[in-house]
Structure 1
Amino acid sequence: MITFVRGLLAAALTALPLLTATPTHAAEVTLRDAIDALPVADESRTGYERSAFRHWVDADGDGCTTRSEVLLAESVGPLTTTGRCKITGGRWVSYYDRVEVTDPRKLDIDHLVPLAEAWDSGASRWSAARRQAYANDLTADRSLVAVTARTNRSKADQDPTTWMPPAAQARCTYIEDWTATKTRWDLKVDADEKNKLVKEAATCPDSPLDIPRA
């Protein structure tokens, strides 16, 4: 089902204007090679404020915020809406815990690599425009996911060393998505994080990752 949901999301996003310049694609690499290539550095949260990442904007001016765009793209059933973008009902399968949701108010849109983690890993040196692009990234279908509020809030700003999806079947996908997002945005990992990625990837298929660069 995750593959199906992601397929719908990818198809929907091809029609959306990009929030950044047209990305170039990195050479396709396998999961384990991509993890090996992630640069290791100490993290620092000095100066972090969530407001440094302006998010849920309407980048293409169509009246739909980033949150609405993700809900529209990830729906696996008919939607009910008020106007074009106020979504009042539908059907979604929460990636992290495999729970089916019909009320969009029970869904959060999660930054797969949390904003605070991105800050720690290199985004503290970015321009405000690049941080906004990261926080509203509709170009890569791994970046933003609709999940139950419960799982999103249990995750908070943790990396895989201290939090993994409760659904066992989501874990390899999560490791792929985390690695691809960090690679896409040229973000670093700390030593414990890299060790955890290596350990988890050893139990997963060494899948090829096609990673559009931001």
Structure 2
Amino acid sequence: MISTFLRTALATALTVLPLTLAQPAHAAETLPLTVAVAQLPLADEVREGYNRNLYKHWNTGANPTDGCNTRAEVLLHEAVTAPTVGAGCRLTGGTWLSYYDGKEVQGPSGLDIDHMVPLAEAHDSGAHSWTAKRREAYANDLGAEASLVAVTAQQNRQKADQDPATWMPLDAQVHCRYTAEWTATKLRWGLTADPAERDQLLRLAAACPGQAVMYEPAPR
């Protein structure tokens, strides 16, 4: 027979245990593009106090001991033909496909790493209220392939900090993919969309039947 003391101890343990377990991570979601766009919170942009230096980017990447910063990690992951990795993670050779314009790029110097949702756009869409740690996590997000993408410098600089209401990739065949990845990134980080942006996203989504959006909320 279980003693009164043991029954009390077991009851206490069962009461306390759920409070000591780690909270489960948010599950990944897959949604139709039109549904995903509709889930974006609607708000006017707030351009107050933006400074690119607030978003510490190209930190030590996924492995702080290998000498490869975030930029190099993206290049290595997206290479069609792997580059040679030298001392200090210096990359030479290799080939990449810039999906924004469908161009093949020889060597890493012709590539920029684009933040799918530019830093200034993220700032305007809610990141202005984040901590420095969360801004750095956003600027170096290797947890979702859509967040950072290697593209030609020309396309990246033409895009600058524009949203889909004013800029889309040169290759029209990738507009559905781009719209889905833009939406996924905003959902992942809980960012808002302004009215003109969401209207354009809805128009783009209507032209992309069957396009899905896959995202996992960013860790807190």
Mark yes or no: TM-score above 0.5.
Answer: yes
SS in 2 for 1:169: helix
- Pick from 40, 43, 53: which aligns with 2:42? 40
Residues 25 and 210, structure 1, Cα contact 8 Å, conserved in 2? no
Letter aligned with residue 119 of structure 2: L
- Pair 1:49-2:51 in alignment: yes
| Equivalent residue number for residue 26 of structure 2 | 24
| Equivalent residue number for residue 103 of structure 1 | 107
| Equivalent residue number for residue 139 of structure 2 | 135
- Pair 1:171-2:175 in alignment: yes
| Equivalent residue number for residue 183 of structure 1 | 187
Distance 2:155 2:212 in 1: 27
How far is 1:43 from its partner? 0.4
Residues 32 and 206, structure 1, Cα contact 8 Å, conserved in 2? no
Across the two proteins, how many residue pairs are aligned to each other?
A: 194
TM-score normalised according to structure 2 size:
0.85
Residues 52 and 120, structure 2, Cα contact 8 Å, conserved in 1? yes
SS in 1 for 2:112: strand
Letter aligned with residue 209 of structure 1: V
- Percent identical: 53
Equivalences for residues 53-202 of structure 1 within 5 A = 53-59=55-61, 60-61=63-64, 62-83=66-87, 85-202=89-206
| 1:120-170 superposed Cα distances (whole Å, 9 cap, x missing partner) | 000000000000000000000000000000000000000001000000111
Distance 2:214 2:168 in 1: 23
Letter aligned with residue 36 of structure 1: A
Comparing 184-193 with 199-208, which one deviates more in the overlay?
199-208
Letter aligned with residue 75 of structure 2: L
Unaligned runs of 5+ in 2: 1-22
Letter aligned with residue 86 of structure 2: T
Residues 183 and 213, structure 2, Cα contact 8 Å, conserved in 1? no
Distance 1:68 1:98 in 2: 21
What's the RMSD between the two structures over aligned residues? 1.5
SS in 2 for 1:40: coil
Residues 111 and 135, structure 1, Cα contact 8 Å, conserved in 2? yes
Distance 1:53 1:40 in 2: 24
Residues 23 and 212, structure 1, Cα contact 8 Å, conserved in 2? no
| Equivalent residue number for residue 4 of structure 2 | none
Distance 1:26 1:71 in 2: 25
SS in 2 for 1:210: strand
SS in 2 for 1:58: coil
Distance 1:111 1:70 in 2: 11
Distance 1:162 1:130 in 2: 27
Higher relative contact order (CA 8 A, sep 6+): 1
Task: Give the ranges of 4+ consecutive aligned residues of structure 1 lying more than 6 Å apart after TM superposition.
Answer: none
